[in-house]
Amino acid sequence: MRIEVLLKPREKAVFLPFNYQYQITSAIYETIAKSSPDFAKKLHDEGFGERRFKFFTFSQILAKRKKITSEGFWVIGEFSLKISSPLYEFLLHLLNGLFKDHKFKIGREEFTVKGAYIRENPEIKPGQIFVCLSPIVVSTIKEGYATPYYIRYTEEPEFFSEKIRQNLLRKFETYYGRLPADDRLIFFFDEEYLKKNKGTKLIHYRDQKILGYLAPFTVEGSSELIAFGYDTGFGEKNSMGFGCVEVK
């Protein structure tokens, strides 16, 4: 399930940096803490399972009007943000926090919460086509690299697909305490789209440089896994603002 938050700047327009993901992650925890400081702290510090999954993801800023500059962009008027999670407690505290004072702060900028709407999950089936609301990221450990190597789909599509599957299986098992009855999954980006468009995006997240993909894709295989990916995010680093998708 997901919540669509409608935000209004205090002025007619507000300037934001290109790399705002960390500020939004922080804002989400701060908002949850308004409802339950204990839940916010536990989610942030511990998460779930050995890998400390947070089980939430969020979209990029979805603005009808914006103006790009060399250092960032102006958001003109109201905009929205989609936040997705399978955790009922997360969504409950997020909603409570949003309506506590109707404020949501991204970095130094404070916005008024004009509305927060629960969006039920659409029917999702094998062969579903999705669009990315935030970049999809998968990585591996590679000899000669001191940091994780972000897999290039155009170079290793099968490996990229398998890493998506393995990541979803780990998250699914941690959340449900079991594996899905069907663990098959194969992932395809729209290669025609990638040929015509850049398709990649480099995000600076604090001291990390993270390479992700923003392109339509199709997923075949387990309906359970695909639906879980819709809720919690496809790929890695979901709570940092990666892997949020929407049905095309």
Mind listing the pLDDT tens digit for each residue in 31-52? 999 999 999 999 999 999 999 9
The whole-angstrom separation of Cα 163 and Cα 165 is 5
What is the pTM for the complete model shown?
Answer: 0.95
Give the model confidence (pLDDT) of 52-83 as tens digits. 999 999 999 999 999 999 999 999 999 999 99
Per the prediction, the chain carries an average pLDDT of 96
Give the model confidence (pLDDT) of 195-229 as tens digits. 999 899 999 999 899 999 999 999 999 999 999 99
Catalytic-labelled residue, pool 20, 22, 29, 88:
29
In the chain, what are the domains? 2-119 (3.30.70.1890), 128-247 (3.30.70.1900)
- Percent of the chain's residues with pLDDT above 70: 100
Give the model confidence (pLDDT) of 158-196 as tens digits. 999 999 999 999 999 999 999 999 999 999 999 999 999
Distance from chain centroid for Cα 92: 18
* pLDDT score of 247: 97
* pLDDT score of 144: 79
Q: Are strands 57-58 and 185-189 parallel, antiparallel or unpaired?
A: unpaired
Asked if pLDDT for residue 22 goes beyond 90, the answer is yes
Asked if pLDDT for residue 125 goes beyond 90, the answer is no
* pLDDT score of 3: 98
Angle at which helices 37-45 and 21-35 cross, to 10°: 140
The whole-angstrom separation of Cα 21 and Cα 18 is 9
Active site residue 44: yes
Give the model confidence (pLDDT) of 229-242 as tens digits. 999 999 999 999 99
* pLDDT score of 147: 86
* pLDDT score of 146: 79
Catalytic-labelled residue, pool 20, 22, 44, 149:
44
* pLDDT score of 142: 86
Active site residue 93: no
- Percent of the chain's residues with pLDDT above 90: 94
Please report, for residues 33, 38, 44, the alpha-carbon distance to residue 41 in angstroms, rounded to integers and kept in the order given.
8, 5, 5
Q: What are phi and psi of 119, to 5 degrees?
A: -110, 115
The CA angle 165-169-175, to the nearest 5 degrees, is: 145
Any idea which residue has 């809720």 for tokens? 231
* pLDDT score of 234: 99
